[in-house]
Every structure is written in C-alpha cells, then in structure tokens.
Amino acid sequence: MTTGLYRAAQGTHVTAEMPIYLDHNATTPILPAVVDAMLPYLRQHFGNPSSGHVYGRRAHAAVERARGQVAGLLGCDDDEVIFTSGGTEANNLAIRGVVEARNDRRHIVATAIEHPATEQPCAWLERHGMRVTRIGVDVDGRARVEEARAAIDAATALVTVMHSNNETGVLQPIAGFAGLAHAVGAILHTDAAQSAGKVALDVRELGVDLLSVAGHKLYAPKGVGALYIRRGTPMVPFVLGAGHERGLRPGTENVAAIVGLGMACEIAGSDMETVAACVAALRDDLWQRLAAAVPGVMLNGHRTLRLPNTLNVRFPRVSGNTILQGAPEIAASTGSACHAGGESASAVILAMGVAADDAIGSIRLTLGRGTTAADIEVTADALVRSWRSASLA
C-alpha cells in the first residue's frame, strides 16, 4: 500500500483539524506519482492537442498515452475510451447519448439505488416522454435480476446499473443484467466510478457496452473522467462543438488532468490485488472491533460481495450524524440527508428494507491506500465512545 498520503506534516497525531480520513468513496487524495506525471503539462507542455505543430503533437501524444493506460485498466481497446470532465458527464453522455441515438425505443431500465449522476439524467428523460423502470434491491443491497427480467423488453433502449453502490459498496450483478439487455437488443451501461481502481474491471467479461470512470475516486484529480464505449455502440453527443474525442465530447482536452488519470489507472492496475487485500483486512478489523463493543450494531449490505474498502454500519438508537459529531477524530459520512429541523435516512438503506428509524443510524466508513492499523484502532475507539455517550444522553 502507498502510505504517507495524509497527515504527512503532522506525523501520526490526530486532531479535529486533521482527522483520520475515512471518506475515500467521496474523493481520494492525488497520488504523488500522479502529481509528478501531471506537472510537465502544467508548466511547460501547454500545447493544444489539436494543433499540428510540435507543441500540439506533444500534448496529443500525452493524451493518447493516457488513453492507453485507461484502456489497460478496463480491458478494452484504446479507441474505445473517451475522456470527460468526470463521472457525472460520462454518465450523462452514456444515457442521453444512447437514448437520442436510438429514438425508436422509449424505455430505460435502471435500479432504485443509482447515484444522482445516473438517476437525474433518467428522471430528465422521463419528464420528456421516456418510460423509466426502476428495479428494486434485496436485503443485501443487490439489484433483483428476476425483476429486471420482467421489465426489459423490445422497447428498452438502455439498461443502466451501477457496478458498485457508493454507500454500501455492494457489487451488482452486472453480467446478469447485460445478458438480459442484449437478448432484446438493448444497451448496457454501468457506472463504475466507485469500482475503478478498487476491483478488477474487464469490460469484455462484464459484457457491458458503456462504463463510466471518475478520476478523483482513484487518486487522480477532480474534474476528469472517462467513458468506455464499446465499438459499434450507437451514440450521439449531448454537448455540441468541435470534433474532439471522436466527435462525442467537444472541447479542448484537459491534458494535465488526463495525464493524471492515465497514471492513476496504471498504478491501480499494477498493485490492485495487494492494496485490496490490505484494505479489506483493515476494514474487517474495524467491523470486528465495532461488533464486539456495540450490541446490536448491523452491517448494511452484502458481507462479501462489496468493495474491499467500504464498511457501512448501522448503530442502534442513535443517528449516524450524532455519532460522527461526537467523534471529531474521524472524517466520514452518513449517506443520509440533513435538512433544517430534521434528518432523513439514506434512500439506499431504505431501499434495502431497513426501517427509517433504524436506517438513520448508518455511517459509511471508506478506507484507502493511506489508512493504517493505528487509524483503525483510533476510529473504533472513537465511534464506540461516541455511541455510548449518545445512547446515554
């Protein structure tokens, strides 16, 4: 694992101003090697990749090298990778691009637990005449393939299912959905923003036609992403301009960020199994510590079919936000929504059949390359102390 990413200047001392970072599903720090790869394209290699002179050719070569690095992580050909401004744009291009290209079909199938970057484009299309069917999930947070079997039909243009859930980390049955989609001639898209760099992604084995990547989820900069588009997939741009990125994503490429994404993908591909095993062991240690000290604490999501870094736990009788407020040594999130005068439970946890009064006690703890065994010990102690204090209040 790559350590020393956090609190480098402060050593191992944990404070409220520099807490243990356990929110890697929200964003990740940029790896030092990624920064190093980017710097030349921020300092001296400033050319426009579309220019024909040496400055442009140098930038163009960097973009194409990065395209190959992303393709290497996904198991596809270089020309099947399109660069975007992030996972949200990649999802919008995938969903709206396919639906507009296949306007003879007026049906979309999604799941009830999609990220807003997928759900909102579907909802927008629904308001503009598309029929959208949302598939539910079981108690483990896995989308129901049999429910999808009944929903996908000859009118279906697109099936979109996230590869792993951003709150629970639960891995979804993508291959099963792909088989159902392709049987009726529909396109299969998966939002893999949380999965890329954490677990193996082979687009051929998954059977997907489209796959979205977000750079800042795998130690690359914010504001850059990619979309895998299987060769031959019908697609039109929803942003109009010049002919960049095969005419599907106009706008001069963000060369430095693209270089960073490429390097992050190369690093992820080189040590993924080792990092995943280390992070999963720390995650499981954290769960065991919490389970031993908090009677009634529950795991949200499938015990094994989930991302190696993700632990979503449900504390009894106390809201997740209350627990986090009482544990300033930790930077984490709940996944629930806070509003003036109240707090609502996570829609993802509710979709799994958890009662609202119980779901509100959920906390998402997501580890990363910089997480240490000492971090886990401090985190467990802080959460247990906060829960006990809140339970007595």
Active site positions, annotated = 338
Residue type, 191: D
Dihedrals phi, psi of 58, to nearest 5 degrees: -65, -45
Q: Which of 177, 233, 185, 232 has the alpha carbon at shortest distance from 207?
A: 177
The single residue listed with the structure tokens 């986090």 is: 324
Q: Which residues sit opposite 108 in a β-bridge? A: 132, 158
Distance of CA 175 to the CA centre of its chain: 18
Determine the Cα–Cα distance for residues 187 and 207; give it in Å rounded to an integer. Answer: 10
Determine the Cα–Cα distance for residues 310 and 336; give it in Å rounded to an integer. Answer: 16
Q: Which of 159, 215, 200 has the alpha carbon at shortest distance from 182?
A: 159
Distance of CA 161 to the CA centre of its chain: 12
Angle (nearest 5°) at CA 17 between 35 and 324: 105
Determine the Cα–Cα distance for residues 32 and 29; give it in Å rounded to an integer. Answer: 9
Write b or e for each residue in 268-284: b if 16 or more Cβ atoms lie within 10 A of its Cβ, otherwise e: bbeebeebbebbbebbe
